[in-house]
Structure 1
């Protein structure tokens, strides 16, 4: 039995969560570029008040099914389905489609062919009109290239959002892309040993032409902090270690002192790789061997929900 558990952890990963969760269903929208697919999960009971919406954006080469735990390897962001069942939320996961996201690194010509911000905006509007969603409580979270997409959404349609989060994703260097003009609550997760998304910016030589140089994680946080007019000194919380054997550590930096106000936060994972931190949803050992260690002290979806929960649209205007 112990051997089977080790084999499963090595090749399939593990899940230590068995809480009730919502069941996503497939749907689609017709857009100028063609049919766009997405998954949506809604509570099965009438809403007593309008619900919050969380839009979850998958990474490169992944899918809505993967990020919501329905395809291998199940992402820790799939915990949003349990949070949604507990907190009475709506969760939507759009698909990037052929060619991936037209994210914050995309050219104007690429965006003209496939405008993913417009697709996500239409999906938000549909959820508001058809799924009892509160337009003042719309949140976006994306991982890796989905995090790059979250930056673009936050920059181009901030009026539709109450807050956003970028996981394992940096903003473009100065002058490389449009910068935000309206402040928003922003929560960023960055790992210092990420072999794909350099924490300190630039690019790794072995990514060849498959990745653009990025700004540093902390420089991106500074963009949103300065735009919000928040002081330079953060509140610093060192997250308690759950396992002594974990070679990663986590620290939370938070600018802004009110959960209902304009805040900017950073979870810095020392020694972490290109994997979302989670105690409950563990990636297989072979994946961690390829892209780095997965921190177990921070539950990424729960940390994002704690940040999102009390924030409403308009606080940055």
Structure 2
């Protein structure tokens, strides 16, 4: 009789291929509320030395599985699996906790979002970082967070409360809170923000977050004021470098304009990726949302892979000693 052991190398190879050239493993970390789950993607080919760590925080009602493309929606965040293998990264996709609406999410800084969970999610992020450093050779000076929607709000909270541990952060489709339960940040960080001008869930002009089926989600500043908040904290000049990105498809009625404050890619930069005519969704070349999803979330731009844009912003930045 054949043994399972004989087939382990083949099984591992198939798993790596299915994961988009990265190997995914299930991990847990113990927290006061119990065991918290996350997925860890590692390069399929072993990498010498310490590895950069990117943590991806999903939106409200989503999951770690969805983040890594294991769901009904082709989430653009799944592009990070290819980046992990190509660049030699560790990428973590954690599961949020359930709030009062029984949907997974994050305890971000919105004081007027009663459906948020009450868990210590900053502590959860810190524990995942500690575990990755201790068990997977993560580089503590190269820890990066990226989040979408409610996950982006959690990135803002982490940037405020654990800034010294982070090298850079990225937020898509989320606003800084109008009613803030977090203290003001004391340390500037490199921040990338992407937001669609036709976002109906986190409105570009600011205001109530949600829609007629999604209530109790709080309110936020405008997208531009959210960017200004971090630009002024970093004491960067008010005039950015502006680049209109090349358009790939004439039928795509969206467009991308990149604004960058700060000229040193190793320094404290702030980038704003303005997604003209786009909705509550990250841009992607390879992970295209269905027409039905776009009917709910808004149009998706196809000019860049947001994972690549984000990694280009992250890769030269290090946490301040």
User: Does the alignment reach a TM-score above 0.5?
Assistant: yes
8 Å contact kept, 1:196–1:207: no
Q: Which residue of 2 aligns with 1:169?
A: 174
Range that drifts further, 275-284 or 19-28 = 19-28
> Which of 274, 284, 287 is the aligned partner of 1:281?
287
SS of equivalent residue, structure 1 residue 124: helix
Q: Which residue of 2 aligns with 1:150?
A: 155
User: 1:178 Cα deviation (Å)?
Assistant: 2.7
For 1:213-292, list aligned pairs within 5 A.
213-292=219-298
> Which of 289, 306, 311 is the aligned partner of 1:305?
311
Cα distance in 2 for partners of 1:107, 1:90 equals 34
Cα distance in 1 for partners of 2:256, 2:271 equals 13
5+ residue gaps in structure 2? 1-17, 100-104
1:153–1:297: structure 2 CA closer, same or farther, 3 Å change rule? same
Cα distance in 1 for partners of 2:186, 2:67 equals 29
Cα distance in 2 for partners of 1:110, 1:200 equals 23
1:58–1:178: structure 2 CA closer, same or farther, 3 Å change rule? same
Q: Which residue of 1 aligns with 2:51?
A: 51
User: 1:160 Cα deviation (Å)?
Assistant: 1.0
Quick one: higher RCO (CA 8 Å, sep 6+), 1 or 2?
A: 1
Range that drifts further, 258-267 or 202-211 = 202-211
User: 1:109 Cα deviation (Å)?
Assistant: 11
SS of equivalent residue, structure 1 residue 244: coil
Q: Which residue of 1 aligns with 2:218?
A: 212
- The normalised TM-score by structure 2 is 0.88
SS of equivalent residue, structure 1 residue 53: strand
User: 1:175 Cα deviation (Å)?
Assistant: 5.2
For 1:124-139, list aligned pairs within 5 A.
124-139=129-144
SS of equivalent residue, structure 1 residue 288: helix
User: 1:213 Cα deviation (Å)?
Assistant: 1.4
Cα distance in 2 for partners of 1:114, 1:27 equals 19
User: 1:47 Cα deviation (Å)?
Assistant: 3.2
SS of equivalent residue, structure 1 residue 196: coil
Range that drifts further, 187-196 or 103-112 = 103-112
For 1:109-128, list aligned pairs within 5 A.
113-128=118-133
Cα distance in 2 for partners of 1:297, 1:31 equals 40
What RMSD in Å do the two structures reach over aligned CA positions?
Answer: 2.2
Cα distance in 2 for partners of 1:164, 1:91 equals 14
8 Å contact kept, 1:174–1:215: no
Q: Which residue of 1 aligns with 2:301?
A: 295
1:81 pairs with 2:81: yes
Cα distance in 2 for partners of 1:107, 1:113 equals 13
1:192–1:109: structure 2 CA closer, same or farther, 3 Å change rule? closer
